[in-house]
Amino acid sequence: MPDGFDWSDKRVIVTGGAGFVGREVCRLLRERGVDDDRLCIPRRRDFDLTDAAQVGRLYREAFRNAKADVVLHLAAEVGGIGANRRSPGRFFFANMAMALNLIEGARLDGLPERGGTFVQVGSICSYPKFTPVPFREEELWNGYPEETNAPYGIAKKAAGEMLAAYGRQYGMRGAYVLPVNLYGPRDNFDPESSHVVPALIRKCVEAKARGDAKIVCWGTGTATREFLYVDDAAAGIVRAAETMREPTPINLGAGSEISIRDLVALIVKATGFRGEIEWDTTKPDGQPRRSLDTSRAASLLGWKASVGLEEGLRRTVAWYVERRQGK
């Protein structure tokens, strides 16, 4: 931890704290001394974060008569290409409304006056469709995002801009991180809404169990992506809260690019599926390339990814197989 930053005396709200990345963030916070009395994880059944009145109630009730010192906003409504195509309006509204309500709610609750920090977790989907590779943070506003996930990406990008504006006008301390495609144990493996890595793992594991002769994958396989293991993402988010005072956009990535075709080959190997791979070229590839320049994270946060893709996939496949078998 940076000198002078003591988590043990901080009260922390983590939206999405029961989710995929949030679980790991909360684990790190507990390791750093945040006890359960100082950690608030709002659940959807208790607080609808798209409703300003309920967000106001969250800030009032999170710590009884005390106030939050740090807000980590990880909650999102998100999915893969198919989910983005089915629900563009909902994805824009939900993600925009949550950020609007939480940032404004933090202001009304006095977070700037207490010197507290608001961390907004953005998305790599915010980058323009044809951003030069590797993506540098300076390119964030230089074009329109890839069409299938533009509503989601624009909402997340606007949230980062809102946080910066609140810093200028109200003195709100903030951090804004942009994780690349995430994966790992406890990811969303629902075939209707999952991202590419869990979707492919489930497809291969189930095809192997049935003895299928082939699997069908979307697109041409030529699009490239970068993948960040969930533990590494959590560490970057916590480091941003510890070190940043202004929401300068910061990429969080693994520093390596892989084609979807090569990714499928790695997952086939990790799962032991032995059938053929068929590519459905009537389905979209999504953004042509994604790979990040992570030098800003190294210089400002002192952070870099530590889990390689093959090792991360091995851990993720093992977790999914054990869960599927009910162990």
For the segment 275-294, what is each residue's pLDDT rounded down to a tens digit?
999 999 999 888 788 899 99
At 181-225, the pLDDT tens digits run 999 999 999 887 788 999 999 999 999 999 999 999 989 999 999
How far apart, in Å, are the Cα atoms of 265 and each of 130, 188, 190, 270, 310? Answer: 26, 21, 21, 9, 11
pLDDT value for 326? 77
Given a cut of 60, is residue 43 above it in pLDDT?
yes
Given a cut of 70, is residue 4 above it in pLDDT?
no
Contacts of 285 (CB under 8 A, 6+ apart): 218, 219, 220, 222, 223, 260
**Mean of all residue pLDDT scores within the chain:** 94
Q: Which residue has the higher pLDDT, 103 or 286?
A: 103
Q: Band of the pLDDT at 325, cuts 50, 70, 90?
A: confident
Q: Which residue has the higher pLDDT, 108 or 87?
A: 108
Count of C-beta atoms within a 10 Å radius of residue 307: 16
Q: Band of the pLDDT at 102, cuts 50, 70, 90?
A: very high
Percent of the chain topping pLDDT 90: 87
Count of C-beta atoms within a 10 Å radius of residue 165: 13
Given a cut of 60, is residue 247 above it in pLDDT?
yes
Q: Distance (Å, rounded) from C-alpha 63 to C-alpha 302?
A: 31
Q: What is the mean pLDDT of residues 1-9?
A: 75
pLDDT value for 106? 98
At 127-185, the pLDDT tens digits run 999 999 999 999 999 999 999 889 999 999 999 999 999 999 999 999 999 999 999 99
For residue 180 the two structure tokens come to: 């690349």
Q: Band of the pLDDT at 327, cuts 50, 70, 90?
A: low
Domain ranges (residues) in the chain: 7-183+228-255+290-306
Q: Distance (Å, rounded) from C-alpha 180 to C-alpha 191?
A: 21
Q: Band of the pLDDT at 2, cuts 50, 70, 90?
A: low
Q: Tell me whether residue 152 is one of the annotated catalytic residues.
A: yes
Given a cut of 70, is residue 3 above it in pLDDT?
no
pLDDT value for 78? 82
Given a cut of 80, is residue 319 above it in pLDDT?
yes
The CATH architecture of the domain made up of 7-183+228-255+290-306 is 3-Layer(aba) Sandwich (3.40)
pLDDT value for 92? 97
Given a cut of 80, is residue 240 above it in pLDDT?
yes
Q: Distance (Å, rounded) from C-alpha 84 to C-alpha 92?
A: 10
Q: What is the mean pLDDT of residues 19-31?
A: 97
pLDDT value for 193? 77
With beta carbons less than 8 A apart as the criterion, state whether 256 and 225 touch: no
**Catalytic-labelled residue, pool 152, 166, 176, 320:** 152
